[in-house]
Structure 1
Amino acid sequence: GSPTDCVYLSLNALYQEGFMPDLIVSGINIGSNMGEDISYSGTASAAMEGVLHGIPSIAISQVLQDKNYFGFDFELAKQSIYKIAKKILNHTYPLDAREFLNINIPQISPKDCKGFKITELGIRAYGNDAHVHRNPRGEEYYWLGLHPLAWNERENNETSDFEATKNGYVSITPITLDFTARNRLRTLEDWISGGFNE
């Protein structure tokens, strides 16, 4: 099943009533989950499921500049998640209900890491990378290629998760499950009150 299903099943079938984990860590995902990518990330969705059940949760992902290169270890990721999990378990969870931490690890060694940076979700730049092919039987199929890790700069120049990892920081982004565009509620009220003239 999906990562969300795994969390749901473990909480509702494997744990005895009254006993819940102190922390859920989803990942490590091989490949980043930054910007709008979290909206369809299994790693992020498992952390979402955790906080829906009131359990502090973290999604952690390893940025890969080259998906075909695995000549590195996960040492920075291991050290980072250890420090963050220990801080949560020994102190407090820094977020409110229905909020989780989304962590992205740059593809560098621990000695080259500049530290942790609190970030916002960047604006992911997507391209068209769907290719049509034919198998040996002549049947058509589509192959979804890998989009390059590209993003657009924000006008207000705030630090994004993309910029942080590019500059050698571990990115920590607080994520809320409330997707409501609150600054548009009044706009929609005005729009709908105008009726539906055809």
Structure 2
Amino acid sequence: MHILISNDDGVYAPGLAALASALERDAQSVCVVAPDRNRSGASNSLTLDRPLEAYTHESGFISINGTPTDCVHLGVSGLFSAERKPDVVVSGINAGANLGDDVLYSGTVAAAMEGRNCRLPPIAVSLCSFHPQHYETAAEIVRVLVSKLESLVVAPRTVLNVNVPDLPLEEIRGIHVTRLGHRFAGEPPVKVQDPRGRTRYWIAGTGDAADADPGTDFYAVEQGYVSVTPLQIDMSHYSGMESLGLWLEELN
């Protein structure tokens, strides 16, 4: 199996190195293409206003001066020979959870989504602490998941969003399939003055969990389980199409 690894925390992130080290044990090849700096919150953005540069580090990792989606886009379609075309994209290990509404903004999830047309379902993996202590736990869990991917039957363009409690491996209680929970709205932006008297705004943190019931990703992680949520690219709200059609008929 040929694996492409990326992230949104940047090419020097410890989670990236831990993931690559774990997956190299079983893979035919592992290629790493990651942003040259932290690009958390970049979502699915592409860089279209300038060309991108690729730099190969002594580690063999390649950094791109762009977004996580840029990195996977190039890694899948432009940087490697046909013989090293990725079978699967794995994104992470992110420092911090990507639960519920977080997937809308997450560069980690976006990088995985850009691998949706590869042969196997892409995986986004996050460690649920902003100061992680147990990258090896998430790395080993993902290694096992990747080793079993060939037998997974899911709809095309399904993305697996994996969230791992920041615990030693022996304290993980198991793995649960989950749905996305929901968060309350985030705090208002923080207004500050720069040294020249200009007003600036810091985007505040995400809101607390509004839906953390049993069956959600929030609940699983809180209980010490790994959460695996299948995400679909098709965002069509099919159950709302009939009522929307009736409403539009009234406008004609």
Query: Structure 2 length as normaliser, TM-score?
Result: 0.69
Instruction: Report the equivalent of 2:161.
Output: 102
1:179 aligns with 2:235: yes
Q: In the aligned structure 1, how far is the partner of 2:206 from the partner of 2:211?
A: 18
Asked whether the 8 Å contact 2:165–2:226 carries over to 1, the reply is yes
Tell me the alpha carbon deviations over residues 80-117 of structure 1, each in whole angstroms, 9 at most, x when there is no partner: 111101111xx323322111100001122212210100
Instruction: Report the equivalent of 2:211.
Output: 153
Once the two structures are aligned, what percentage of the paired residues are identical? Answer: 34
Q: RCO higher in 1 or 2 (8 Å CA, sep ≥ 6)?
A: 1
Instruction: Report the equivalent of 2:143.
Output: 82
1:166 positional shift = 0.5
Asked whether the 8 Å contact 1:26–1:47 carries over to 2, the reply is yes
Distance 1:192 1:39, change over 3 A: same
Asked whether the 8 Å contact 2:87–2:118 carries over to 1, the reply is no
Asked whether the 8 Å contact 1:119–1:160 carries over to 2, the reply is yes
Q: In the aligned structure 2, how far is the partner of 1:17 from the partner of 1:26?
A: 21
Instruction: Report the equivalent of 1:29.
Output: 94
Query: 1:110 corresponds to which letter in structure 2?
Result: L
Q: 2:109 aligns with which of 19, 44, 47?
A: 44
Distance 1:9 1:189, change over 3 A: same
Query: 2:77 corresponds to which letter in structure 1?
Result: N
Tell me the alpha carbon deviations over residues 23-68 of structure 1, each in whole angstroms, 9 at most, x when there is no partner: 210111111111111012111111111014554210001111xx3x
Instruction: Report the equivalent of 1:192.
Output: 248
Instruction: Report the equivalent of 2:81.
Output: 16
Distance 1:78 1:53, change over 3 A: closer
Query: 1:16 corresponds to which letter in structure 2?
Result: S
Q: In the aligned structure 2, how far is the partner of 1:144 from the partner of 1:99?
A: 30
Instruction: Report the equivalent of 2:172.
Output: 113
Asked whether the 8 Å contact 2:99–2:218 carries over to 1, the reply is yes
Query: 2:154 corresponds to which letter in structure 1?
Result: L
Query: 1:179 corresponds to which letter in structure 2?
Result: M
Q: 1:73 aligns with which of 134, 142, 146?
A: 134
Query: 1:124 corresponds to which letter in structure 2?
Result: R
1:145 positional shift = 2.7
Q: Which piece of structure 1 moves more, 127-136 or 163-172?
A: 127-136
The Cα RMSD (Å) is: 1.8
Q: In the aligned structure 2, how far is the partner of 1:178 from the partner of 1:18?
A: 30
Distance 1:135 1:113, change over 3 A: same
Query: 1:11 corresponds to which letter in structure 2?
Result: V
Asked whether the 8 Å contact 1:23–1:57 carries over to 2, the reply is yes
Q: Which runs of 5+ in 1 are unaligned?
A: none
SS of the equivalent of 1:51 reads: coil
Asked whether the 8 Å contact 1:58–1:102 carries over to 2, the reply is yes
Tell me the alpha carbon deviations over residues 137-175 of structure 1, each in whole angstroms, 9 at most, x when there is no partner: 212111123235x21237xx5510000000000000000
Instruction: Report the equivalent of 1:58.
Output: 123
Asked whether the 8 Å contact 1:21–1:55 carries over to 2, the reply is no
Q: 1:2 aligns with which of 67, 71, 74?
A: 67
